[in-house]
Amino acid sequence: MEDKTILELYADEKSRNTALGYLITKYQQRLYWHIRKIVIDHDDSDDVLQNTFIKVWKGLSGFKAESQLYTWLYRIATNEALTLLRQKEKLQTSSIHPIEYTLSKNLESDTYFSGDEIQLKLQQAILSLPEKQRIVFNMRYYDETPYEQMSEILDTSVGALKASYHIAAKKIEELLVNT
Tens digits of per-residue pLDDT, 16-75? Answer: 999 999 999 999 999 999 999 999 889 999 999 999 999 999 999 898 878 899 999 999
Task: Please check the confidence at residue 77 and state whether its pLDDT lies above 70.
Answer: yes
Task: Please check the confidence at residue 150 and state whether its pLDDT lies above 80.
Answer: yes
Contact between residue 100 and residue 132 where contact means Cβ atoms under 8 Å apart? no
Q: What is the pLDDT of residue 173?
A: 92
Q: What is the pLDDT of residue 103?
A: 56
The predicted model scores a pTM of: 0.78
Inter-axis angle of helices 69-91 and 99-109, nearest 10: 100
Q: What is the pLDDT of residue 100?
A: 53
Q: What is the pLDDT of residue 92?
A: 63
Contact between residue 95 and residue 87 where contact means Cβ atoms under 8 Å apart? no
Overall average pLDDT of the 8-13 stretch: 92
Tens digits of per-residue pLDDT, 82-136? Answer: 999 888 877 765 554 455 555 555 555 555 545 557 777 888 888 889 989 999 9
More reliable by pLDDT, 140 or 107: 140
Domain ranges across the chain: 1-96, 115-179
Name the CATH architecture for the domain at 115-179. Answer: Orthogonal Bundle (1.10)
Task: Please check the confidence at residue 79 and state whether its pLDDT lies above 90.
Answer: yes
CA pair distance 138, 73, nearest whole angstrom = 17
Name the CATH architecture for the domain at 1-96. Answer: Orthogonal Bundle (1.10)
User: Is 1-96's fold the same as 115-179's?
Assistant: no
CA pair distance 7, 87, nearest whole angstrom = 33
